[in-house]
Amino acid sequence: MLAILVAAGLSTLAVSDLLRHRNATIRAASGILVVLSPLLLSSVFLTALSVSRSLPTAAHAAAHSSGTPRANAAGVVLWLVFDEMDEELAFERRPASVRMPAFDRLRSESIVASDVRQVADRTLRAVPAMTVGRTVLKADPAGRSALMLNFDSSSPAVLWKDVPNVFSEAKRLGRSTAIVGWYHPCCREFGGETACCVSSPHSGGEPPTVWRQYALSLGASALIGAQAVHGLGIALLERSDLLGTLKAQSDVIRSAHAAQVRSLREALLRAVGDPRIDFVYAHLPVPHAPGLGTPSGREPDYLDNLEIADSVLADVRLALEASGRWADAAMLITADHGYRPDLWAAPFASARVTRLLAGTRGGRVPFIVKVPRYSGAVRFDWSLSAIAAHDVVVGMLNGSLKTPDSVLAVLEKLSASGGSRQ
């Protein structure tokens, strides 16, 4: 139990405090722990605490949703969030040897906003902000299934699920929704709004959520004392054998992450292939660290993960084309944040990615809008915040964004207002 508490404490410290340290060893180790926080805790420690439960499949859950399947006259709406996909690295600086044919093709048939700023550099704030269309100043887990959001320093915190969001709007519009979530336990927050919901990649354990980690971390801090936990974390990180141990765990981390990607890809494809579902939201754990795949002669890295993300999009398109739903589909693809060097520290660092990073601005995410029945390439170069995702998705859901001009008008308006409706 002590190991769990210490690990949980270290996890939070890695996220919040250790990144500020100048010491290179600590920076590298803290980078590893940030990666460990969603992965190792879930795969190694949390498994021991978890209560086994089976996940609903999309087909199973849809079959048990209330009412008869709706006619899908408006066309399916998809919102895909690829965690950590970076506009510059994926589409402006990507080496020719790294192939993303599905993304390249879609970008040649869609509205591509090229200067979209990430909402935040951490998933905890970025995903809720995009779902509600407002900048989130602070996000605090309040138990295992509730996230408190602060939009400014003078107003009290409010529950994420109580703020009007894309899921509540979909429900109001009668859209049958599928959520395929990662990191945030979306099913606990929004499961009641949906026909089917999968937010755990593990078949026998708790989702690797910040909620549970944070609750454990708070427990560790309360038990031992925040300063003691902090001091212990520093002492441990300065021991080289801990770094060695963490490196030895990298295969475990990669394996757990690969399982999450597989599981969520399957859940997404089930939802996309179900004609009763007409709004699909998916938050996918690629190209987020660690690198996956089996390249010869080197460790897998961020660019390998971009290719995996591309294969997910290719599968989504194939599934929609096979069911005759591609042409009428409306889709937004974006990311919660861009590439984060601190999370790709050793042992996940890559020489070829390091070379690409020279001179990058950072902090820009893809923003690709597929308009139903339209296949022209349109580029939108005005500066925009990724918060615009909310208004675009809501416009797709309510049918007001069915033409390129209508989408561009919304983007221009949001650009002029800084992207937020506050």
Closest to Zn ion by CB, 98 or 124: 124
Asked whether position 274 contacts Zn ion by CB under 5 A, the answer is: no
Asked whether position 336 contacts Zn ion by CB under 5 A, the answer is: yes
Asked whether position 86 contacts Zn ion by CB under 5 A, the answer is: no
Asked whether position 123 contacts Zn ion by CB under 5 A, the answer is: yes
Closest to Zn ion by CB, 123 or 263: 123
Asked whether position 83 contacts Zn ion by CB under 5 A, the answer is: yes
Pairing of strands 147-150, 384-385: unpaired
Which range binds Zn ion by CB under 5 A, 82-90, 188-196, 271-279, 324-332? 82-90
Contact between residue 306 and residue 90 where contact means Cβ atoms under 8 Å apart: yes
Q: Can you state the angle between helices 226-237 and 240-248, rounded to 10 degrees?
A: 80
How many chain residues touch Zn ion (CB under 5 A)? 3
CA distance 229 to 220: 8
Closest to Zn ion by CB, 123 or 199: 123
Contact between residue 330 and residue 401 where contact means Cβ atoms under 8 Å apart: yes
| Alpha-helix runs per DSSP H in 273-387 | 302-322, 351-357
Closest to Zn ion by CB, 83 or 206: 83
Q: At its nearest, how many Å lie between Zn ion and the CB of residue 407? A: 25
Return the amino acid letter for 119. V
Q: At its nearest, how many Å lie between Zn ion and the CB of residue 84? A: 5
Q: Can you state the angle between helices 2-16 and 24-40, rounded to 10 degrees?
A: 120
Contact between residue 377 and residue 112 where contact means Cβ atoms under 8 Å apart: yes
Which range binds Zn ion by CB under 5 A, 4-12, 52-60, 119-127, 349-357? 119-127
Contact between residue 121 and residue 362 where contact means Cβ atoms under 8 Å apart: no
Closest to Zn ion by CB, 307 or 336: 336
Closest to Zn ion by CB, 340 or 370: 340
Which range binds Zn ion by CB under 5 A, 7-15, 118-126, 295-303, 315-323? 118-126
Asked whether position 334 contacts Zn ion by CB under 5 A, the answer is: no
Phi and psi at 322, nearest 5°, equal -65, -30
Contact between residue 284 and residue 309 where contact means Cβ atoms under 8 Å apart: yes
Position closest to Zn ion via CB: 123
Positions touching Zn ion (CB under 5 A) are: 83, 123, 336
